[in-house]
A and B are shown apart, each in its own frame.
Chain A
């Protein structure tokens, strides 16, 4: 069955420290891959996406993600976290078909401590 897994429910990180959020997927073929961020009570904002080509993708707000085909992973990273990065982060995938639907992981909540 197709699935998206975010193994970490909650991560706490100190301001200025690095952050890595994990995402694994199970699909027959490499899907389109996305990371979204959601502030409390708000909608989702796209951080970055991977369709093809360079496996290291740069996004907004200083985030990057690396696609690893051998591990079926698309982990999100930020070298130095700011207090404003406290939010919930969702990995999402879309199959390479024409149904144009996204499947989301359960999300990882990031807390930033001073």
Chain B
């Protein structure tokens, strides 16, 4: 089955530690995204990537880092610089449109809930 997997489902971190959240997709999508979800705030974009070895900051990139060494993988590291990392993190991917001024659907993974102790 094609889809997006995120691991782990639950993650606990002590203050001052970096943690890495995994996101893998086998949909052959070019674009991948990381969102943070907090109650009452919807989803906010952290980082996104449209091609291997390239990525851009989203609206709330401070305290986070990413890499895109392979097309199917887009791991997110939550660093100790992120002041309030407890949240639900969602990864998504999308096939880039073949035509200009077009758009495709973003597919979402099941999410990782990160709790800082």
The number of residues on chain B lying at the interface, defined by a beta carbon within 8 Å of a beta carbon of chain A, is 31
Q: Are B103 and A100 in contact (CB under 8 A)?
A: yes
In this assembly, does B63 line the interface, its C-beta being within 8 Å of a C-beta of chain A? no
Instruction: Report the minimal beta-carbon distance from A1 to chain B, rounded to whole angstroms.
Output: 12
A32-B103, A44-B108 known; A100 and B113 CB under 8 Å?
A: no
Instruction: Report the minimal beta-carbon distance from B31 to chain A, rounded to whole angstroms.
Output: 6
Interface residues of B in 91-107 (CB under 8 A from A): 92, 94, 96-97, 100-103, 105-107
In this assembly, does B74 line the interface, its C-beta being within 8 Å of a C-beta of chain A? no
What residues of A have a CB within 8 angstroms of the CB of B64 in the complex? none
Q: Are B42 and A51 in contact (CB under 8 A)?
A: no
Q: Are B103 and A43 in contact (CB under 8 A)?
A: no
CA of A43 to CA of B105, assembled, Å: 14
What residues of B have a CB within 8 angstroms of the CB of A113 in the complex? none
A32-B103, A100-B31, A106-B42 known; A43 and B48 CB under 8 Å?
A: no
What residues of B have a CB within 8 angstroms of the CB of A44 in the complex? 43, 90, 92, 108
CB-CB nearest in chain B for A45? B108
Instruction: Report the minimal beta-carbon distance from B19 to chain A, rounded to whole angstroms.
Output: 19
In this assembly, does A84 line the interface, its C-beta being within 8 Å of a C-beta of chain B? no
In this assembly, does A17 line the interface, its C-beta being within 8 Å of a C-beta of chain B? no
In this assembly, does B110 line the interface, its C-beta being within 8 Å of a C-beta of chain A? yes
Instruction: Report the minimal beta-carbon distance from B93 to chain A, rounded to whole angstroms.
Output: 11
Chain B interface residues toward A at CB < 8 A: 4, 31, 33, 35, 40-45, 48, 50, 58, 88, 90, 92, 94, 96-97, 100-103, 105-111, 113
